[in-house]
Amino acid sequence: MKADPVLTEIISNRLMQIGLEGGLVLQRCAVSPSVVDAKDLGFNIADASGRTVVYSVWMPRHGTTLSYMLQSCMKRFENDIRPGDMYLVNDPHSGALHILDLAVIAPVHYKGELIAWVGNATHHVDVGAMTPGRSPLATDWHQEGIIFKPTRIVEGGKIRDDIFNLFLDNIRMPRYQSLDLKAQISANFAASQKLIELVERYGTDAFTETVESSIELGERQARERIAVLEKGEYHEATYLDYDRLYRLECTLTVDDAGLHFDFSGTDPEAKTFINCAVPCAVANLHNILACQLFPDLSVNYGTWTQVDVSIPAGTIISCNPPAPCSGASTITGWRVQGITMALLTQALKRTERSKFAMAEWGWGFTDVQWTGFDQQGRWYSLRGDMSMHGGGARAESDGIDVANIAGSTNTSVPSIESYEYRYPVLYLERGLVPDSEGAGQFSGGRAGYWSRCLYGVDSAADCTFYIGRDVSSLGVHGGHDGAPARIALKRGTDVLARISKEVPLYDELDGEEELFSQMPPGLDRVVYSGDVICVRGMGGAGFGPPELRSEEAVRHDLKEGLLGAERALEIYGVKAE
């Protein structure tokens, strides 16, 4: 019999709503800004066989990693999955995006039968590694924090204090993070309860029918969308720079069976933290598909049956323990996004959806980390302003100025005032960088930049790392590349002596400029009062030859101060008035 088109719609909407409400409970009970403000979280619902039907109501990237982690839990506890259980996971090889993303996964039982799974993941600020947060100097994964392969943290509906405290004893911010982890558990309790009420009201058959038809719908919608792409084989290679240059390579085959991505040719795993495990790579690939190809479709298990990914073992995007990999999500993960986008762009270019073809977005991570004691003697750790990159040009429009990474749907930069209030720093400027975009018929978006100094304290420890200094975003179709990222420090300036008259800009200051290497030289770099750091993101790349850019658009950019007269003349042949 055919499923009821009304009842399955009502139940399917209710399932989405339960996922949403699970996320709301998590946000309401958590305290860390990454959960509450950045909404860096995901909430999944899967059926008893582990097929995801509600795919990350919040951030798409977490939908895939939660699916992987669910499979790991089902495997590890195979014959021992009991009502009232919940499992804690952050092991990248068990599916976590990276070690800092903790997931809690729970089976849902109704009258003793396993009927469904719920799970959520969110970013924790610390997992007790050699340095707070990510570990840019790690040489093996045990330096990167405490590892949980699927571990029973809730038993018979009660938190296991021994496991819970094991986590708290190993991290730097136990007070905040204990509330965050409890919030994750509460969110699963709330969603499980609502799922049980749903099944009580409509019956298990109606629930099963809904899951089946949702997955069928996901599959059919994806298949139709993929059929729009031009069939064929596409190839891309791309690089990233850290302690050295690394290469990623991928071939996309579009045929009647769907999409097949093959990453053969990608460099073997690194000795530094830039690596990622397979789940992180696939999650980032899925994230771009969700944003570039399927933004208007319902995404679930059915969608991904049309997408196949193969990655040879032991590469920088499929590393094995004990290779370090805490940089994963924001380094190699984002490079996988870049190469996926480039491949899709090729397959979209000559289709009815060609407007979704685009040049590369600025990428990488400019992570400036200062730690120390403020005027009141309190310890602080200052990060943020992390990725002020320009967006890539699109086939029919310019890239977004200071857009951040493609597919990072939740990013924002905090206000200067909230930073100056919280931390002993003074900003000299924050803005966009004219001429940092890749030129083209449609130009890339400009990068952002900022400069600041210490204010009211004498020194701070610095553990800054970044990528994208020596490689940049790639133009498409004759569009130019964007300008790369750059972090530099002027030592011993007279900035503090000058501020009573006027606050100088970075470029107006004298002082010996030190161009930062991507990898920190060690754990002992210090910034002092009078030192000024200037951080610039990567410009987005251009789409199409600059000769085709309309004169009107060039004149607009000139007038708005986004394009210098020299480049206007040299690249576009337009003379400023």
Partner 1 sequence: MTAGDQADMVRDWLIGVDVGGTFTDGVLLRPGHAPIIVKTPTNIPDPVAGLMGCLDALAESVSISKKELLARTAKLGYGTTQAANLIVEGKGSKVGFITTRGFKDTLVIAEIGRERIGMDLTASRAPSLVPRSRIYEVRERVDAQGKELAPVNMDDVKAAMDALAAEGVEAVGLCFLWSFLNNEHEVAVAEALKNYSNWFVSVSHEVAPLLGEYKRSATTALNARLGPLVQQHLLSVGRSLKTEGLDALPLVMTSAGGLLTMEDAASKPVTLLSSGPAGGVLASKLLAERMGLENVLCADMGGTTFDVSLITEGELALSERAQYAGQEIFTEAIDIVSIGAGGGSIGWVDHGLRLKVGPGSAGSDPGPACYGHGGNRATVTDANCELGRLNPKGLAGGRLHLDTEAAKRVLSDLGKEIGLRPEQTAEGIISIVDAAMSDAIRSQTVAKGLDPREYALFAYGGAAPLHAASIAADLGIAKVVVPLLAPVFSAYGIVASNIQHVLSRSRVVPITDTETISSVFSELEASGTAALESDGVAEPARILVRAAQLRFKGQMHAVNVSVPSGPITAESLEQLGRKFVETYERLFGAGTSSASAGIEVVTLRVYAIGVTTVPQIDAVEAEEHDGVPSGSRKVWFKGEQIEVPTFTGPLEPGTRISGPALLDYPGQTTWVPVNTTAVVDPYQSLVMTVG
d(CA 404, CA 539): 10
Candidates 41-49, 164-172, 291-299, 528-536; binding stretch for partner 1 (CB under 8 A)? 291-299
Q: Extract the tokens encoding 201.
A: 């009201």
- The yes or no reply on residue 418 touching partner 1 (CB under 8 A) is yes
Question: Dihedral (C-alpha) 137, 141, 142, 148: value to the nearest 10 degrees?
Answer: 130
d(CA 141, CA 151): 19
Please tell me the count of residues contacting partner 1 according to CB under 8 A. 85
Element (H, E) at 191: helix 174-202
- The yes or no reply on residue 267 touching partner 1 (CB under 8 A) is no
Measured from the CB atom, the residue of 59 and 88 that comes closer to partner 1 is 59
Q: 435 to 454, contacts with partner 1 by CB under 8 A?
A: 448
* Smallest distance from partner 1 to CB 405, Å: 9
* Smallest distance from partner 1 to CB 151, Å: 23
Candidates 131-139, 258-266, 399-407, 564-572; binding stretch for partner 1 (CB under 8 A)? 399-407
Mind spelling out the 3-state secondary structure of 246-265?
EEEEEEEEEECCEEEEECCC
- The yes or no reply on residue 577 touching partner 1 (CB under 8 A) is no
Contact 318, 277 (CB under 8 A): yes
Ramachandran category for residue 530: left, alpha or beta (phi over 0 → left; psi -120 to 50 → alpha): left
d(CA 86, CA 147): 17
Residues in CB range of 36: below 8 A, 6 or more apart: 27, 30
* Smallest distance from partner 1 to CB 260, Å: 22
* Smallest distance from partner 1 to CB 231, Å: 23
Task: Work out which of 1, 6, 352, 379 binds partner 1, going by CB under 8 A.
Answer: 6
* Smallest distance from partner 1 to CB 482, Å: 16
Q: 185 to 224, contacts with partner 1 by CB under 8 A?
A: 186, 190, 213, 216-217, 220-221
Task: Work out which of 394, 469, 477, 486 binds partner 1, going by CB under 8 A.
Answer: 394
Task: Work out which of 505, 523, 526, 565 binds partner 1, going by CB under 8 A.
Answer: 505
User: How far, CA to CA in Å, does 417 sit from each of 16, 178, 387, 430?
Assistant: 37, 29, 19, 12
Element (H, E) at 155: strand 151-155
Element (H, E) at 11: helix 7-29
Q: 16 to 55, contacts with partner 1 by CB under 8 A?
A: 17, 20-21, 24-25, 27-29, 31, 33, 36-37, 39
Candidates 75-83, 246-254, 267-275, 395-403; binding stretch for partner 1 (CB under 8 A)? 395-403
- The yes or no reply on residue 158 touching partner 1 (CB under 8 A) is no
Q: Residue 308, SS3? A: strand
- The yes or no reply on residue 139 touching partner 1 (CB under 8 A) is no
Residue with tokens 């730097």: 172
Contact 539, 437 (CB under 8 A): yes
* Smallest distance from partner 1 to CB 124, Å: 16
* Smallest distance from partner 1 to CB 221, Å: 7
Residue 442 bridge partners (DSSP): 543
Q: 51 to 110, contacts with partner 1 by CB under 8 A?
A: 60
In 357-418, where do the E strands start and end? 366-367, 370-373, 379-382
* Smallest distance from partner 1 to CB 109, Å: 23
CA atoms within 13 A on the CB side of 313: 3
* Smallest distance from partner 1 to CB 234, Å: 18
Contact 311, 290 (CB under 8 A): no
Candidates 93-101, 292-300, 469-477, 542-550; binding stretch for partner 1 (CB under 8 A)? 292-300
Residue 528 bridge partners (DSSP): 459
Per the document, the length of the chain is 577
Site string for partner 1, 309-348 (x = CB under 8 A): ----------------------------------------
Candidates 225-233, 323-331, 351-359, 564-572; binding stretch for partner 1 (CB under 8 A)? 351-359
Decide the pairing of beta strands 258-262 and 307-310: parallel
Task: Work out which of 52, 177, 266, 292 binds partner 1, going by CB under 8 A.
Answer: 292
Contact 459, 526 (CB under 8 A): yes
Whether a cis peptide bond, with omega within 30° of 0, leads into 60 is: no
* Smallest distance from partner 1 to CB 182, Å: 8
- The yes or no reply on residue 515 touching partner 1 (CB under 8 A) is no
* Smallest distance from partner 1 to CB 227, Å: 14
Q: 463 to 502, contacts with partner 1 by CB under 8 A?
A: 499-502
